[in-house]
Amino acid sequence: MQILIMPKAILQIDGNNFYASCEQMIDPSIKGKALVILSNNDGCIIARSSEARKIGIPMGQPYFKLKNKLTQLNINVRSSNYELYGDISNRLMQLLRKNCEGLEIYSIDEAFGTIKRPKGKSLYKWGKDLRALVYQNIGIPISIGIGETKVLSKISNHLAKQMQNNSGIFDIGIVENKDRYLNKVKVDKVWGIGKRMSIWLRNRGITNALELRNMPSNQIKEKYGVVGLRIQNELKGNLCIPIKDRTSDRKEICVSRSFSYPIDSLEELNQVIIKYVLIASAKLRKYNQLSSAITVFTNTNTHSKNFYKGEATGKIDIPTSDSRIILKKSLELTKKIFKPYRKLKKAGVILQKLQSNQYKQKLLFNEQVIQKEFYQERLNYIIDEINKKNGRDTINWGSSIIEKEWNPLRKKLSSIKTTDIDNIPIIYAN
C-alpha cells in the first residue's frame, strides 16, 4: 500500500497596518478613518492606516511639519501605544500557533508558518477561515501569503495585499504561470534584497523577481555568496531557509529611550537607568537567559554644540538575571559616564554575553548564599508574574518608584489599554 505524503506549504502571515489596526480595533470611533501613529516623543510618523496611505501621508515625516495638514484633512493622530501593540501581538501569535503545524515569530506583526496541503492542493478556504477567526477573536485584518519557500510566501503576501479580489490571500504555489506574478514584483520587494543589493542588481538590468530568478547563478554567487544563492534558489521553489519553530536565543537585550525633556542631574539619570534595567532584566528572565556583562550609555541632543556621548561596560562575575545584582552594577557604571551640566536627551542599558539559564553556575561550598539566591529568584519571579497579569510597574523595586516626568512624550496616547484593567472600556447592557 502506497502512502501519499502531502507536501507542506510555507505561510507568511502579517497584520495589515498593524499599529493602526490595533488602535482602530480598540476605538471603534476611528475605524475606517485616516489615522497616523507617532514615534517616541511624538516625533515622526511611523505607521499609517490604509485610509491615510490613500490620501498620500508619507512615512517618516516629522509630525510638527505635517501637523497643520493633518488637522485640515481631519486625520486622526495617536502616540505609540506599545503596551497595546505588544499584547495584541501575543494574542495573534498564540492563535496562529494553534492553527499552524509550525510557527516562527518573525516580528511583532509577522510570522512564518507551515501546513500540509490538502488533497485538492488549494489552501484558500483554510486561509479564509483563519482570517475570519483572527478578525472575530482579535479584531484586526491579516494577509496570508502561501508558497513553497519563505521568499515565495513573502512575495505571495505582497501580491495578496495588492489584489483586492483575493480577499487578502494569495497562493503562488498552485498558480500555473508563476512567471506572470514574479514579473510584477520589483526586485527591491523580494525578501532578503537590501538597498545596496537592489542597486547592484538594477545596474545589471535585474528589475524584478523573475529576472532575479533567471539571472546566471555564478554572477550573484561571486558578489553575494551563499546568501544571494539562497534567495535565488528560494525563488525557484527550493526550500533553503527553513522555518525555525523555536526563536533563536538573543545575543543581547537593549532598552533605551529619548526623554520628554533634557535631564542634567545624576539622581535623575540614576532613576532612568534603574527603570530601564528593571525592564531589561524582566525580559532576560522571560527568555530564560542570564547576562554576564552590562553596558550603560547616555548622550545629549546630537545637534547640540556641546554634544556628549558617554558609555561604560562592566562584567558580572557570575552570569545572572537577578535585578538586584544588575542594578548594583549599572549604577556603578552610571556614575562613571555622568557629566555635570550636560543636557542629556537619551539613555539606555544593554545586557550582553547572554547564555541559557539551564547552565547556571552554582556556588559549591556556601549553602547560605545558595539559599539566599533561591529566595531572590522566587522574588523576581513573583514580581514578574504580578506585573504580567496586572500591567508593568504594578509592583516594583522601591528605587524605581518616582515621578516619571522624563518619560517619552506621548500627548496623543489612547487612554484604552488591554493590559490595564482600569483602562478597559465598560459596556452597559440594558
Q: Enter the C-alpha cell of residue 384.
A: 514578574
Contact 316, 330 (CB under 8 A): no
Query: Degrees (nearest 5) of the Cα angle 35, 36, 41?
Result: 140
pLDDT reported for residue 335? 93
Rounded Cα distance between 195 and 180, Å, is: 24
pLDDT reported for residue 75? 92
pLDDT in tens, 273-323: 998 998 899 889 888 889 999 999 999 988 778 889 999 999 988 888 888
Between the alpha carbon of residue 403 and those of residues 40, 80, 210, 345, 349, the distances in Å are: 19, 21, 57, 17, 20
pLDDT at 406 over 60: no
Burial 211-247 (b: 16+ CB within 10 A, else e): bbbebeeeebeeebeeebebbbbbbeeebebebeeee
Look at the pTM and tell me if it is higher than 0.75. no
pLDDT reported for residue 4? 41
Contact 328, 277 (CB under 8 A): no
Mean residue pLDDT of the chain comes to 85
DSSP letter for 44, please: B
Rounded Cα distance between 381 and 281, Å, is: 11
For residue 1, name the pLDDT band (cuts at 50, 70, 90): very low
Of 397 and 382, the one with more pLDDT: 382
pLDDT in tens, 176-227: 899 999 999 999 999 999 999 999 999 999 999 999 999 999 999 999 999 9
Contact 114, 100 (CB under 8 A): yes
* Average confidence (pLDDT) over 392-404: 60
Same fold across 1-175 and 253-400: no
pLDDT at 374 over 80: no
pLDDT at 162 over 70: yes
User: Could you give the percent of the chain with pLDDT greater than 90?
Assistant: 49
| H helical segments located in 5-62 | 18-26, 50-55
pLDDT at 3 over 50: no
Residues 6+ apart with CB under 8 A from 334: 266, 269, 270, 273, 296
Rounded Cα distance between 137 and 76, Å, is: 25
Rounded Cα distance between 384 and 407, Å, is: 21
Query: Degrees (nearest 5) of the Cα angle 345, 347, 352?
Result: 160
Domain-wise residue ranges, the chain: 1-175, 253-400
Architecture of domain 1-175: 2-Layer Sandwich (3.30)
> Does 253-400 carry CATH code 3.40.630.30?
no
